[in-house]
Amino acid sequence: MNLVISPIFAMLNVSLLQANVDLSLLEAIILGLVEGLSEYLPISSTGHLLVTTELLGISDGSQEVEDALDAYAICIQAGAILAVLVVYRERIQQMVEGLLGRSEEGRRILFAVILAFIPTALIALATQDFIRENLFGTPAIATAWLIGGIAILLLSRSGFMDRDGLELPDITVRHALAIGALQAIAIWPGVSRSLVTILAGILVGLSLRAAVEFAFLLGLITLSAATAYEGLDQGPAMIDLFGWFTPLVGLVVAFISAVMAVRWMVSWLNEKGFDVFGYYRIVIGLVTFAFLGAGWL
């Protein structure tokens, strides 16, 4: 696949840096689209970004470039973070008012989001080396896509997604901690943080609508922490290789596409349910294994 794709991008290349690896304007736009469209859908943005990077043939295989690409992928998540700030601005304003002591409902939701983040952060820090060494490969990602897709279809057909439940202001400490602990499963690329948190929310007793909203709000703090951590750790290396412009382009494209994806997903789930994401995950998992078998990945 790289043999086919790389010459195309070479012809369209609008390179803005001179380093061990070139990141063209077109590649920056593609990565931004992939990040924005997949971050909040239950299909795994990390898995999509890792496979897309391989298909585009961006990396030269060196650890320096790999670290910079990892940082790039995480830092353009800032665009997805901004998307949630826009789409859920009224809820976030309520949470800010809760922080200031002006809204009891906002305070409870903010407290629940922070509580849910804590177990995820602790588990991620404890397991990050193992995950990077064992689960960041394409076969592991494709496996996670397949497992997640099958799980979605099974749960959807069992009526699990359709159960009545609590609304977001009714979330408790126990609910938040359980969701946060289960969210850590999504450290495995391909699993999908939004999928796990939505399913966890329904499991602990939230309605689908409340579980989706909580997944997005929890993503806001989780992605912000990951972006800040990776930006401080590998940000200078990323800037050295890619400059400022292409990461900024990726961020803006991720923001625009994430806004569209979040609004579409909320509307779709209210009308048609999760099945489409299950089918998509199974198809992309099988296609990825086919590419691996053909030597294209």
Q: Which residues contact 275 (CB under 8 A, 6 or more apart)?
A: 152, 153, 156
Q: How far apart are CA 30 and CA 53, in angstroms?
A: 10
In degrees and rounded to multiples of 5, residue 188 shows phi and psi of -70, 110
pTM here?
A: 0.86
pLDDT at 129: 87
Region 250-264: what's the mean pLDDT? 95
Q: Which residues contact 232 (CB under 8 A, 6 or more apart)?
A: none
Percentage of the chain lying above the pLDDT 70 cut: 92
Which phi-psi region, left, alpha or beta, contains residue 273 (left: φ > 0; alpha: ψ -120 to 50)? left
Region 98-104: what's the mean pLDDT? 95
pLDDT of 269 over the 60 cut: yes
pLDDT at 61: 67
pLDDT of 294 over the 50 cut: yes
Region 225-243: what's the mean pLDDT? 81
Region 146-167: what's the mean pLDDT? 92
Report pLDDT digits (tens) over 51-65.
998 888 887 667 777
- Please answer whether residues 257 and 87 qualify as being in contact, where contact means their C-beta atoms are separated by less than 8 angstroms: no
Tokens 């290396």 belong to residue: 237
Domain ranges of the chain: 28-294
Region 202-231: what's the mean pLDDT? 90
Q: How far is CA 33 from the centre of its chain?
A: 12
pLDDT of 110 over the 60 cut: yes
pLDDT at 272: 85
Partnered with residue 108 across adjacent β-strands are none
- Please answer whether residues 186 and 39 qualify as being in contact, where contact means their C-beta atoms are separated by less than 8 angstroms: no
pLDDT of 12 over the 60 cut: no
Residue 235 to residues 231, 239, 241, Cα–Cα distance (Å): 4, 6, 10
pLDDT at 132: 83
pLDDT at 22: 67
Region 206-212: what's the mean pLDDT? 93
Report residue 23 as tokens: 């990141």
pLDDT at 17: 34
Report residue 3 as tokens: 């043999």
Q: Average pLDDT of the chain? A: 87
pLDDT at 10: 31
More confident residue, 232 or 101: 101
pLDDT of 270 over the 80 cut: no
Region 184-208: what's the mean pLDDT? 95
Crossing angle of helices 208-242 and 173-183, rounded to 10°: 40
Residue 124 to residues 129, 197, 215, Cα–Cα distance (Å): 9, 15, 17
Q: How far is CA 75 from the centre of its chain?
A: 12
CA atoms within 13 A on the CB side of 31: 31
Region 44-56: what's the mean pLDDT? 90
Report pLDDT digits (tens) over 70-85.
788 888 888 988 999 9
pLDDT at 228: 85
Q: How far apart are CA 83 and CA 176, in angstroms?
A: 23
Out of 14-18, 99-103, 174-178, 197-201, pick the least confident.
Answer: 14-18
Tokens 């470039």 belong to residue: 65
Q: How far apart are CA 36 and CA 31, in angstroms?
A: 9
More confident residue, 241 or 139: 139
pLDDT at 23: 82
